[in-house]
Amino acid sequence: MRKFLIPPVSSNIDVDLKKKIDGKTKPPGSLGRLETLALQCGRIQNSLNPELVNPTILVFAGDHGITEEGVSPYPQEVTAQMVLNFLNGGAAINVFCRQNNISLHVVDAGVKTDLPGHAELIKAKIGRGTKNFCKEPAMSLEECERSIDKGAELSRTVPVSTCNVIGFGEMGIGNTSSAAALTQRFTGLPVENCVGKGTGLDDSGLAQKQNIIRQALEKHAEIKEPQAVLSTFGGFEIAMMVGAMLESAVLKRIILIDGFIAAAAFLAASRIVPEIQQYAVFTHQSDEQGHAEILKYLQAEPLILLGMRLGEGTGAAVAFPILQSAVSFLKHMASFESAGVSGRTDDK
């Protein structure tokens, strides 16, 4: 696996950025989270006038052997069917990307079935789905390395070279089970905190899912090293997302983190190179139980809370206009001086 040399974001510009933000025609702090977002974007780009250029979302798809254990009410073939829906422009992520002028690319990271050729499909299949991690590691270390490296390659080559803001989505029946196992192993939280209903399990199905993941974690109790954890419990699409996230930070892009699966991939990426967190914007809090736990663990504040739990990168696409608002006020809002408006007189 290649080394990811992520540069630290600039702090030298902090004073000037804060002065510019506070000098706008508003009480200090009155734009709330938009101000901290503007500061983060300015730091990442080392600019007093950050811009969002050619926003892109990559959606990675893969199948999971853990579905043999009945962890999802949907059959495995739905993964391939939904990829075709993406390619035909009919999914929620297609709608939101069109709405917000975000480029969308779909990647076959490890779908079990062969997908037909399509101009919008990137064929990067590592394998025909992972193995059942309740019985054996989901993938080999070599397959995991190939997935990470392929994700890095796609991050470099698929978006146009001027892209400086990128989000990640996924599709894979069974991948909430992978995300739950990764979350538990990386955070040490109780299994019950990490496992949710996924695509709609009832209470008895949820209890069964928790037991299956608990057994799998016990079976692989000795696995602790980040890449080994990823190869044991992850999916091809999750590992590929890890590589794409890491390389995007190397390229000094703003990284939009979607829901539970993407956050679990980010958790793995942050264990490999902790500096990645400086580049991350956590776009929403999913209704999938484990996502709130990851956000709490990372001390990350999501931009929106809409009860979404679809995946696909939809939270990143829906939240993107908020990021646009943050950089727009910084660039275009008048200052007290330019507008001829009197500032505070109490020296505070």
Give catalytic residue positions: 312
Number of Cβ within 10 Å of residue 180's Cβ equals 31
**Residue 7: left if φ>0, alpha if ψ -120 to 50, beta else—which one?**
beta
Greatest Cα pair distance in the chain = 70
Which 8-state DSSP code applies to residue 196?
Answer: -
d(CA 272, CA 4) in angstroms, rounded, equals 9
Q: What is d(CA 184, CA 194) in angstroms, rounded to the nearest whole number?
A: 6
Distance separating the N- and C-terminal Cα atoms of the chain: 52
- In the chain, where does DSSP find H-type helix? 14-22, 33-45, 78-87, 92-99, 141-157, 175-187, 191-194, 203-219, 226-233, 236-250, 260-272, 289-298, 314-332, 336-339
* Number of Cα atoms under 13 Å in the Cβ half of residue 348: 4
Give 88's Cβ-side CA count (13 Å radius): 9
Cβ neighbors of 43 (< 8 A, separation 6 or more) are 9, 10, 11, 13, 14, 17, 278
